């Protein structure tokens, strides 16, 4: 049986979540119907909304359920952009260069189809947004800025972001902020009201809920133009609501929230065990992201291996019984260097030898130690393959 170390891609569903999900799936009733079956479905839906809200430090009325994290990001960015441009032209969007592709592709679409002007904010060598550059961009952009969108923590290298400080800077200029908290959800406490942002995106399957369910938290003071129209079932989203998915999401959110301190403490120990183990077993490996434990997600370990291709290492480890990744699952199978690592200043050859190991509630010390034991052989084989490829290329 494979050892699963790719929790950032998706997280296994705990038994409590699966039980609640299957029970809810067996019930009939549209939450918008006024008969008793429909009202029972609505009651379950709203209880789940309250559970998700409690896990995020917001009010239940601020939670809009979506079809997943990508939809949440699209709804936030496009919705804020359209709303902000309804009264005056505000074409500029501020985005750090190391964001998830859900954000990058969304703002790129707005640039191509809606005339948006994207200003890419630099990040440092750890993957953290440059607040000085952000402040300068806010001063320079003035009333032309529609919004700022940034991660709560980087999904590839795990570096946490100074969202409170960034939001405070944006507030001085009246610019709303969207936060992609999908990678951070369940791995660090989230208090939506304390962040001071307009919108925040999360996804159920990252914390053990079902795939195809997410949420966008929208501040009471924020205005977002919906992507979907036809029913007004939710404040910013039309469509029949997925009551069963919401129920499962609510249970997963409660489990993630109530047990967070103990789980995070366990993950931090495992993360440091894995980090030091890799550094000892493969001295050439380079840790990426913030090396300060307080500055990165508890379950994230990200290394680059000089002279290796990340895909080669991934396949070799997969054959040895380990599930890991080279970065975002949304870009899996795309043979190109990580834009996150390039934004952090790495050269393309260095950025190509990346592996991300992400730990979760089922990860054990034995899992970590087994990976460390298997890694040197995989690196050696990948290095030989990389050298042979380079020699062949040079021979041409």
Domain 3-10+260-395 indexed as CATH 3.30.565.10: no
Residue 188 tokens, joined? 């660090």
Report, in this order, helix, strand and coil percent for the chain, each rounded to 5: 50, 15, 35
Q: Which of 310, 100, 273, 302 is nearest to 185 (CA)?
A: 100
Is residue 178 classed as helix, strand or coil in its secondary structure? Answer: strand
Is 308 part of the annotated catalytic residue set?
no
Distances in Å between the alpha carbon of 47 and those of 11, 118, 244, 290, 301? 23, 39, 12, 38, 35
- Report the first-to-last Cα separation within the chain, whole angstroms: 42
**pTM of the predicted model, to two decimals?**
0.94
CA–CA dist 21, 14 (Å, integer): 11
Give the pLDDT of residue 327: 73
- In this chain, the answer to whether the domains covering 3-10+260-395 and 15-258 adopt an identical fold is no
State how far the Cα of 106 lies from the Cα of 61, in Å rounded to an integer: 26
Active-site option among 117, 118, 281, 330: 330
Grouped pLDDT means (10 residues each) for the chain, 396 residues:
93 97 95 94 97 98 98 98 96 98 98 98 98 98 96 98 98 98 97 98 98 98 94 91 97 95 96 98 98 96 95 96 80 71 95 96 97 97 69 50
pLDDT of residue 329: 47
What are the extents of the domains in the chain?
A: 3-10+260-395, 15-258
Q: How far apart are CA 85 and CA 334, in angstroms?
A: 35
Q: Structurally, what CATH architecture does the domain formed by 15-258 represent?
A: 3-Layer(aba) Sandwich (3.40)
Q: Give the pairing type, strands 286-287 and 199-203.
A: unpaired
CA distances from 289 to 43, 340, 341, 356, 390 (A): 43, 10, 9, 11, 28
The dihedrals phi and psi of 224, each to the nearest 5 degrees, come to: -130, 130
Cα distances (Å, whole numbers) of residue 370 to 8, 306, 321, 366: 20, 22, 10, 6
């Amino acid at each position: 049986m494979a050892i699963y170390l790719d929790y950032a891609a998706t997280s296994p569903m705990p038994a409590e979540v699966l039980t609640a999900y299957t029970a809810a799936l067996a019930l009939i009733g549209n939450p918008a119907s006024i008969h008793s079956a429909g009202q029972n479905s609505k009651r379950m839906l709203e209880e789940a909304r309250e559970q998700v809200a409690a896990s995020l430090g917001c009010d239940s009325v601020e939670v809009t359920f979506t079809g997943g994290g990508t939809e949440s990001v699209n709804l936030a960015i496009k919705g804020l952009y359209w709303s902000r441009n309804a009264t005056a032209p505000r074409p500029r969007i501020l985005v750090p260069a190391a964001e998830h592709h859900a954000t990058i592709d969304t703002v790129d679409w707005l640039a191509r189809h809606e005339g948006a002007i994207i200003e890419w904010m630099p990040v440092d060598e750890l993957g953290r947004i440059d607040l000085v550059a952000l402040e300068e961009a806010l001063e320079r952009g003035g009333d032309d800025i529609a919004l700022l969108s940034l991660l709560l923590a980087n999904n590839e290298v795990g570096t946490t972001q100074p969202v409170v400080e960034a939001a405070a800077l944006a507030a001085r200029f009246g610019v709303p902020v969207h936060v992609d908290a999908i990678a951070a959800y369940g791995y660090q406490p989230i208090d939506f009201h304390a962040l001071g942002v307009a919108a925040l995106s999360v996804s159920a399957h990252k914390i053990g809920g079902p795939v195809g369910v997410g949420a966008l938290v929208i501040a009471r003071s924020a205005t977002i133009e919906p992507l979907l129209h036809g029913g007004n079932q939710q404040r910013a989203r039309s469509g029949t609501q997925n009551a069963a998915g919401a129920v499962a999401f609510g249970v997963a959110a409660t489990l993630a929230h109530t047990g967070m301190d103990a789980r995070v403490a366990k993950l931090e120990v495992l993360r440091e065990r894995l980090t030091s183990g890799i550094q000892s077993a493969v001295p050439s490996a380079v840790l990426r992201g913030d090396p300060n434990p307080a500055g990165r997600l508890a379950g994230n370990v990200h290394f680059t291996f000089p002279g290796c291709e990340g895909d080669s290492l991934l396949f070799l480890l997969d054959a040895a019984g380990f599930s890991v990744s080279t970065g975002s699952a949304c870009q899996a199978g795309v043979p190109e260097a990580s834009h996150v690592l390039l934004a952090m200043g790495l050269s393309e050859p260095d950025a190509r030898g990346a592996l991300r190991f992400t730990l979760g509630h089922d990860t054990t010390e034995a899992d970590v130690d087994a990976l460390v034991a298997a890694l040197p052989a995989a690196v050696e084989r990948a290095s030989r393959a990389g050298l042979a490829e380079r020699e062949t290329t040079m021979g041409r």
